Amino acid sequence: MKAPAPTLGIWLVVGLLMMLVVVPLWRPLRGAWRCYELHRDGFHARGEILHKLDESRLAVRLSGAPDGMEACTVAVSTSYHAAVEIGTALDVVAVPGRPGECELLETVEASGIALWSITGGVVSLNLLFVALGAKVQQSSRRRMGGGSKARRPYS
């Protein structure tokens, strides 16, 4: 009697590898996607820099904003903060549920690109694990003699 192919063991290992990739990244990616969607769907406005608050925040007055969203603060990098002048116009995204806070539109767009790249990498890695599992299963069947063999007709 032939020993059965180690199919279950192969797929348990593949599942474990997939879990090792997905579990640590699940919560951070979920939170990042929620934050990205919140800002992406926010109020897009043109703003003018009023003041430089500290080395990484700007006070911005929004034009054409609804009531309660006339001004906000924007967090920026220190190099951007040093280079930008008061009175400069910026494209920002204001979230209605968080009055007084805005994000640069460039930052929101770059975050979306990064999130799609990371999520695509996780999915690709999992697909690679599945492909490797299928290949190992196929090669183990051949070794055990359970794979399909070409038959010669009428020989």
pLDDT of residue 150: 57
Dist CA 39 CA 57 (whole Å): 18
Dist CA 34 CA 40 (whole Å): 10
DSSP, collapsed to helix, strand or coil, labels residue 150 as coil
Closest CA to 62 of 82, 44, 85, 38: 44
How many C-beta atoms lie closer than 10 Å to residue 123's C-beta?
12
pLDDT of residue 46: 92
Q: For residue 74, what are the contacts with CB-CB under 8 A and spacing of at least 6?
A: 47, 57, 58, 60, 90, 92, 102, 103, 104
Dist CA 28 CA 14 (whole Å): 23
Dist CA 124 CA 51 (whole Å): 45
* DSSP states along 66-122: PTT-SEEEEE--HHHHHH--TT-EEEEEE-TTSTTEEEEHHHHHHHHHHHHHHHHHH
List of domains in the chain: 13-140 (2.40.50.140)
Taken in order 96, 98, 101, 104, the sign of the CA dihedral is negative
| β-pair type (101-104, 71-75) | parallel
The 10s digit of each residue's pLDDT in 15-37 is: 998 999 899 999 999 999 998 88
Tens-binned pLDDT, residue by residue, of the chain (155 aa): 555 557 788 888 889 989 998 999 999 999 999 988 888 888 888 999 999 998 899 999 998 777 777 889 999 999 999 999 999 999 999 887 788 888 999 989 999 999 999 999 999 999 999 998 888 888 877 776 655 555 556 65
